Copies of this chain bind each other. A is one copy, B any other.
Amino acid sequence: MADYRAPIKDMFFAIRELADLEALSNLPDFEEVTPDLIEAILEEAGHLASEIYAPTNVIGDIEGSKFVDGEVKVPTVFKSAYQAFVEGGWPGIAHNPEYGGQGLPFLLSNCVDEMMQSANLSLSLCAMLTHDAIYTIEIYGDESIRSTYLEKMISGSWTGTMNLTEPQAGSDLSLLRTQAIPDGEAYKISGQKIFITWGDHDMAENVIHLVLARIPNAPSGTKGISLFLVPKFIPNPDGTIGRSNGVETASIEHKLGIHGSPTCVLDFSDAQGYLIGEPNKGLACMFTMMNRARLGVGLEGVAVSERSYQQALVFAKERIQGHLPGKSGNVAIIEHPDVRRMLLTMKVEIEAMRASAYVTASHVDKADHLNDQKEQHYHQSRVDLLIPIIKGWLTERSKELTGLGIQIHGGMGYIEETGAAQYLRDAMILSIYEGTTGIQAGDLVNRKILRDHGSALNEFFLDIQQTLDELSNLNDYPSIICERLSQGLDQSKKAAEWLKIHASKDVYSSGAVSYHFLMMLGTLMGGWQMALAASAAQKKLDQDKADKEWLKAKILSARFYAEQCMPRITTYTESIFSGSDTIMAYTLDQFESD
C-alpha cells in the first residue's frame, strides 16, 4: 500500500505563481501572509496528513461507521486522528479570530483541506461540513447564536452538518416538508432528513445541525424555506452540554464508498431550533455557504485523484513486465508508452485541476476582503462563474482519473487489498453530493451565463485572450500550448454565442447542452492555467537553478495538456451545436429497447 505524501511543491507553485499570492498578501487582512508562512503551514499540515490521517484511510474503509443501539460509532482510529487535527488548531485556520479562528485566507484553508482529503476523504468530510456550517453562522447567525456556537465549532470540539435532503426532495428543494413551529423565541422542528453527512457520530461532544424547514403558512416552493440551527444537545448557559434535543438517528447508509463517513437518516421530533437569517430566506443563506462547499467538493476530486496517482506511480515503477524496443531485458511498466499516457493523464489533469481550484479560492478571498467595489465585483462574478465549473468538472474527471489508477494496476487494481479501488469508490460520490453535475451545469448556463447575458463569461474570455497576447511575446514557448488554448477559446466563444441565440428560442437547449458547456469551460480553464504555469516555470528556470527538472516537467505537462486534453473541447462544442432536437424527440416509450 502506497503512503501518501503531500505534493507541497506543486501546491506552493500553484498558490504563488497562479493563485496570485502576492495580491493576497497585499490585502490589509492578510498582511502577515508571507510565502514563508504559507510554506511552513503546508509543511506542517502535510506532516499531519501523511503521518496521522493517511494511515487511518484503509481501516476506515474496511471497518466503516456503524450504527449500534441507536448510536453511530466511527472507526476507532478516526478519533485520535481527528483529535490531532483539533489540537493542531486546523479546524479554524480561515475562521473568525474573534471566536478563536486564525483568520488566514480561504485559499490556504482549502490547501490544508486538500491534504486531509487525500489522506482520508471520509474523515476529512467532518471538518468540511463543519467549515460550511461555521461560514453560515458567521454570516447569518445573530450575536447570541454566534457566541454560543462559533468558538466550540471553530475549535473543533463541536462539529456541524447541513440538513437539506428529504426522501421526496433531493435536487428539488422546493418539495421539502420538514416543519418549524414557532415556540417562544425558538421553533419546534419536526421531519425526516436523509443523506446527512457526519449527521451523528461519537468523535466530538456535540453536533450542530443546520436544517432547512418550513414555518407554518410560509409560501410554497423554495420561497417558503427557512434555515434553523438545531443542536444534538442543547448547550447550557455555561457552554457545557445539556439535554438531548429530539434529533434521533434512524439509520446510516451502506454506500459504495466513503465507508468511514456516517451518512445518516435523521428524525427531528419537536427538536428545538433557532432561526438563522430571515424567515423564508433559508435557501439564500444556504447558497452563500454552498459556493464554498462546492469548491471544497471539487477539491476533493483533486485530492482523491492525487492519492490514486501516487499509488499508481509507485506500482508502475516497481512492476516489471514486458520489453521495450531498443532496451534489453524486462522493464518496469512505467517505461511503456501507454502506461505513461495513463499516468500522465492523471498527473497533468490533477495539476490543472488543482491550479484551477486554487485560483477560484483566491478570487473568493479577494471578493471577501477587497474594499474597492469594482474590483470586488470582478472577483465575485468570477467566483460565481467558476464555482459550478470547479465542482462539476473536477468531480467528473476524478471518476475517470481514479479509474485510470485502477487500470494501471491491471488485475491487482481490482483486488480490494491493493487499495486502488477505494479511490474510485470514494470518488463516485463527488459528482453527486452538494448538487449533482446536472445541477451544476444548469446553474452555470442559466444563472451564471444567461442571466447576466454572458457578461461574466466574456470577462473570463477576455482574461484568457490577454494571457494569449502575453504568451505570444515569449521566446522558446511551446507553440502547441498557445495554438490549442487559442483554438479552445475560439470554440468556446462560438459555443457561448450559440447558447445565447438558442436559449431564447428553445427552452430545452440550455439543459441539453449544459453538461458539455460545463466540461468545455472546465477544460479551457485547465488549459489556461497550464499555459500560465508553463510561462511561470520558464521564467523561474532562467532565475532559479534549484528545481530545474521539476520546472521543466511543468512545461512538459502544459504541452501534454494541450496535446491530450484540449482536443476534448472540439467534442464538447460539436455536441453543443447539435442542440436539443434529438434529445427531446424521444417519447417515453421510445426509451425502451424491447
* A interface residues, Cβ below 8 angstroms from B: 5-10, 165, 168, 170-172, 175, 194-195, 253-257, 306, 309-310, 313, 317, 320-322, 325-326, 330, 334, 336-344, 347, 350-351, 399, 403, 406-407, 410-411, 413-417, 421, 424-425, 428-429, 431-433, 436-438, 441-442, 480, 507-508, 511-512, 514-515, 549-550, 552-553, 556, 559-560, 563-564, 567-568, 570-571, 574-575, 578, 580, 582-594
Contact = CB atoms under 8 A, between A and B. Distances in A.
A589 B172 contact: no
A119 to B, nearest CB: 14
B407 A429 contact: no
A344 B586 CA distance: 9
Given A175-B321, A254-B416, A338 B567 contact: no
A302 to B, nearest CB: 11
A338 B507 CA distance: 13
Given A322-B171, A575-B564, A414 B441 contact: no
User: Quick one: copies of this chain in the complex?
Assistant: 2
B344 A583 contact: yes
Contacts of A6: 594
Contact of A582 (B171, B413, B556): B556
6 contacts: A5-B594, A175-B330, A256-B415, A338-B441, A341-B512, A556-B586
A125 to B, nearest CB: 13
Nearest to A573: B567
A514 B338 contact: yes
Contact of A593 (B172, B253, B351): B351
A57 to B, nearest CB: 16
Q: Is the interface of A mostly helix, strand, loop or mixed?
A: helix
Per CB-CB distance, the 8 closest pairs between chain A and chain B, nearest first, are A337-B511, A567-B574, A563-B578, A7-B593, A325-B507, A553-B590, A337-B512, A256-B421
A9 B337 contact: no
A593 B508 contact: no
B590 A552 contact: yes
Given A330-B172, A571-B571, A338 B515 contact: yes
A325 B170 contact: no
A284 B424 CA distance: 36
A75 B511 CA distance: 44
A432 B416 contact: no
A589 B549 contact: yes
A255 B416 contact: yes
Contact of A580 (B337, B441, B515): B337
A347 B593 contact: yes
Contacts of A559: 582
Given A515-B338, A575-B563, A593-B7, A424 B428 contact: yes
A418 to B, nearest CB: 9
A411 B589 contact: no
A117 to B, nearest CB: 15
A432 B6 CA distance: 30
Contacts of A8: 594
A397 to B, nearest CB: 12
A407 B438 CA distance: 9
A336 B7 contact: no
A288 to B, nearest CB: 22
B436 A414 contact: no
A355 B175 CA distance: 42
Nearest to A578: B563
A553 B313 contact: no
Nearest to A407: B431
Given A256-B425, A338-B511, 17 more contacts: A9-B594, A254-B417, A310-B593, A325-B507, A334-B591, A337-B511, A337-B580, A337-B584, A338-B442, A344-B591, A407-B438, A424-B428, A553-B586, A564-B578, A568-B571, A570-B574, A571-B571
